[in-house]
Amino acid sequence: MIHIKEAIIVEGRYDVNKIKQLVDTVVIETGGFAIFNNKEKLALIRRIAAERGILVLTDSDGAGFVIRNYLRGAIPKEQIRHAYIPQIAGKEKRKVKGSKEGTLGVEGVPDTVILNALQQAGVECLPEESDKPRITKADFYEWGLTGLPGSNEKRKKLLKALDLPSHMTANALLEFINAVADYEQVQREIEKL
């Protein structure tokens, strides 16, 4: 598994699953065209892009390019890279029928194709071990953010303090925090709650 600095932006949840098996980084789903009307998600993507950069990896069909071009216009060019998968005819195993264009999406292409696309995009690989301590679910429990009475309310207060979407799950919050914040910073915010 490779460790990269940039967060990867993909279209759907099956794409997220595929990428998380290959790459250790933050992976964000646009929800397809839903990104056009989701100001909170776009704000989140912009924050992560400013902190660590993003890499757009959409399907090679027309819809993928519409999403890619939307993000290209919404993110400063120095904070965004693009990885392209080739158009490969076929259909994903889980689908009854193929896409309108008859090509495989990110979830359906072989792993080597994705890794090659990332390499060609010039992703910044990181050492496997980082000096920065990762925040874990155990930390969330210790801080009262999960698993205890009142955890949901406390987590919502933290989301508001960090100016994050109020509907983020505990797992999404954990991933975001590990992407852009450090342990001490989060601990200070929690002590203020």
Asked if pLDDT for residue 126 goes beyond 80, the answer is: no
Burial of 108 (0-12, 13-18, 19+ CB in 10 A): buried
Task: Decide if pLDDT at 47 tops 60.
Answer: yes
Q: What 8-state DSSP symbol labels residue 95?
A: -
Res. 78 pLDDT band, cuts 50 70 90? very high
Residues 138 and 144: beta-carbon distance below 8 Å: no
pLDDT for position 131: 59
* Confidence (pTM): 0.79
Q: What is the pLDDT of residue 168?
A: 81
Confidence grade of residue 111 (pLDDT, cut at 50, 70, 90): very high
CB-CB contact of 96 with 4 (8 Å) = no
> What pLDDT does 130 receive?
55
Write down all domains in the chain, each with its CATH number in brackets.
Answer: 2-121 (3.40.1360.10), 137-192 (no CATH)
